[in-house]
Structure 1
Amino acid sequence: MVNHNGEKMFLKKDKIVIRDMGDEAVLYNPQTKAIHVLNKTSSMVWEYCDGKHSLEMIENKIMGKFNVSNVQDVKDDIRETINQFSQLGLVEQ
């Protein structure tokens, strides 16, 4: 999915169920019957996979919530999380 500026956008698949468990969240994919446990940061990445945020926007939103010393490490972690979501069939790109 690409926006009018040519930026890749990320969208959660419709049928994925999420349950907030405090410091973690649990995703359930009824199609594959798989359960995925997300830490707080991964949960935030998941929330921004709404079809309205590009990778850069997601990175900026998350880095704005934390005191980040190594920006590249955070960006790499966010990209890896989105890649994992995609590989697991949880988001569309």
Structure 2
Amino acid sequence: MNPIARPDVLTQQLADGSTILFDPQTSIAHELNATGALIWEYCDGEHSIGDIAALLRECFDTPTVECQKDVTQFLETLQQRALLNASV
């Protein structure tokens, strides 16, 4: 399944490369590091978990298995916080 970010979640990129996600339904802000922000950017319904893992592998020269695991765990966290429309 391709993850889809909730369209009502507001994003703000900070100068240090981190990104703040603000959930207007809960009034909770979530801070993402640069890697998390990159994953969030590709939660557009067009990219699969495998696609996102491949992008990370290219950016960070990390083994595929590790990227797949990290992306899956991060998306599960986003899902638990109800920031995604589709279940992962």
Give the structure-2-normalised TM-score: 0.89
Show the 5 A alignment for 1:8-87. 8-22=1-15, 23-68=17-62, 70-87=63-80
Unaligned runs of 5+ in 1: 1-7
- Residue 51 of structure 1: SS of its match in structure 2? coil
CA RMSD across the alignment: 1.1
Provide the C-alpha distance between the structure 2 equivalents of 1:72 and 1:63, rounded to a whole number of angstroms.
9
Bigger Rg, structure 1 or 2: 1
Unaligned runs of 5+ in 2: none
Kindly indicate which of the two structures has a greater share of residues assigned to strand: 1
Provide the C-alpha distance between the structure 2 equivalents of 1:74 and 1:49, rounded to a whole number of angstroms.
15
Runs (4+) off by over 3 Å: none
Aligned residues with identical type, % of pairs: 25
- Residue by residue, what CA displacement relative to the aligned partner does 1:2-45 show, whole Å, maximum 9, x if unpaired? xxxxxx11111011000000321000000011110000000000
- Counterpart in 2 of 1:5? none
